[in-house]
Amino acid sequence: MRSTTLVLDAGSRSVRAKVVKHDQIIRSAFRPTPSTGDPHGVARHWDGSRLFAYAAEAIRGAVDGLVVDTVIVTSQRIAVVFADENIDALYAGPNIDARGFLAGIDLETAAGDDLWAVTGRHPPIIFTPARWRWFTENDESVTAETRWILPLADWFAAKLCGRVATSPSSATDTGLFDVAKREWSPRLFELAGIDIAFAPPVLESGEFLGTVTDRAAAETGLAPGTPVAAGGADSAFALEGMGVDAVGAAASVAGSTAPLEVVTDSPIVDPSRRAWTTCLTHSKRWALDVSTGEAGIAQRWLHELMGVESARRFDDIAAKTSTSNGAMFHIAAPIDFSDLELGSIGQIRFRRPIVQLGPTRAELARAFFENLAFAVRLGLEWTDELIGHGRFHLGGGLAESSVYPQILADALGETVTTHDVHVTARGAAKTARSATGHDPNNGATFAPRRVAPRANLDATYETWRDELDRLAALAPRLGQLVTQAKEPNERR
């Protein structure tokens, strides 16, 4: 029996509902989810009273008379909701909300090495404890009414079925979760000053969570009683959608950003603090997780700056040359969290793009793709020091580029198994099928393509690395110059 699954995927800018059947997307709809806040500051949040309404509109548009067997929710990582006893959002913040910057530094000082050893994450400036500390100091009305602290995906699921729970892949990015034990850390809750009773129960992704309530059915168009499965993080489901579960298998999920994931069968905590440790959807799988910077977001910035009307046209321009001819970007680069100077602009390379001037449009476009590929290669060099990687996979929007998969294969010097933009939805649907007793592999029809290397980019990569090291060495001095430039204005 073939099952039909509704996958709700909540990102920074929109929420998407996709109906998956026979491993194919048969209908989808999306609605923008604009966040608000000071555009020149660090605080961002969603309108909690409207956030679920956006999702309900997307679900209704995707379902529109279709019979759905199961529902599952995924979302961007790090985003969190502080909800009251009715599961209404008191605060809903995306992964870019850094209002707790200073509080996070204080928490790291108090926790010491425990923070990295337990959570596999650093720095704590954007995770839940830092945000909670900010509200306790600036808006106690939120913390006073909070009953649940929920990763974004789990809040949406709770609104659909009325039951509160999370999964390890979602809870991992709260900064309160013990990644090795796959459970909440009482010590970190105590250090953060948060009542551990606010933490939801932990289920594995795909376990039965509940059924769609009458109220949610009326809002979304889903049938009352439709099973809802425990969800998870978007990147974890992307690995599932690509079939990346063997130990050592590696993948780049190249969407708005491009996290690099290498699968492990035990929680490896990187002593150099360059790679995070992440729980995956399978109970016996983790990943080494390297942040290689922004991808799709940076591409949109660049093609709009160049006056190019679409990503496809950007591909066409890049395809006109086989060399970047010395053009070089450092927009994307894996972040070394062990050496992150929080006052420095040098690490925020997508805000301060560095490019050698004088290339053609084609060379400029190709240089951008080379930058993304080189960032992945450097990230793999880091993870290879801990666990060697096997077959490499590429998924997400940039997997559908006519240019980038080949450049990535050339940069890595190995074959890249290339999927498509729907890997997260496909992986979430596969996981959800187990909630209703269906064979999770039943109906799998998508066939990825294998892209073999055609050229050697070692020399270009080494030049890129040298320039990256030079920029990193300059970063502290640049930060000092910025501070000095501000001081006269601040004294006026």
What's the pLDDT score for residue 444? 59
Phi, psi of 228 (to 5 degrees): -115, 125
What's the pLDDT score for residue 353? 46
What's the pLDDT score for residue 484? 61
What's the pLDDT score for residue 367? 93
CA gap 150, 170 in Å, rounded: 9
What's the pLDDT score for residue 350? 32
Tokens of 222: 């889903």
CA gap 212, 195 in Å, rounded: 29
CB proximity list for 468: less than 8 A, separation 6 or greater:
330, 333, 378
CB proximity list for 388: less than 8 A, separation 6 or greater:
248
What's the pLDDT score for residue 478? 57
DSSP per position, 117-164: HHH----GGGSHHHHHHHHHHH-HHHHHH--EEEEHHHHHHHHHHS--
What's the pLDDT score for residue 477? 63
Tokens of 352: 């301060």
Are 448 and 426 in contact, with CB atoms under 8 Å apart?
Answer: no
Q: Which domains does the chain have, with CATH numbers?
A: 4-236 (3.30.420.40)
What's the pLDDT score for residue 169? 97
To the nearest 10 degrees (0 to 180), the angle between helices 361-384 and 296-305 is 160
CA gap 170, 184 in Å, rounded: 12
Nearest to 476 by CA among 352, 340, 292, 332: 340
H-type alpha helices, 255-328: 296-305, 311-318
CA gap 159, 107 in Å, rounded: 31
CA gap 189, 197 in Å, rounded: 10
DSSP per position, 323-379: --TT--B-S-----GGG--TT-STT-TTTS--B-S---HHHHHHHHHHHHHHHHHHH
DSSP per position, 7-49: EEEE-SSEEEEEEEETTEEEEEEEEE---BS-TTSS--B--HH
What's the pLDDT score for residue 445? 65
Tens of each residue's pLDDT in the chain, 492 residues: 458 999 999 987 899 999 999 889 999 999 998 878 765 578 889 998 899 999 999 999 999 999 999 999 999 999 999 999 999 999 999 998 989 888 888 887 877 778 889 999 887 888 999 999 999 999 999 999 999 999 999 999 999 999 999 999 999 999 999 999 999 999 999 999 999 999 999 999 999 999 999 999 999 999 999 999 999 999 999 999 999 999 999 999 999 899 999 999 999 999 998 999 999 998 899 999 999 988 988 898 898 989 998 999 999 999 999 988 888 787 777 776 665 544 333 333 333 344 445 678 899 999 999 999 999 999 999 999 999 999 999 999 999 999 999 999 999 999 999 999 999 999 999 999 876 666 656 555 678 999 999 999 999 999 999 988 888 777 666 556 555 654 554 444
Tokens of 59: 């679900």
Edge-first strand order for the sheet with 148-151 is 89-93, 80-83, 148-151
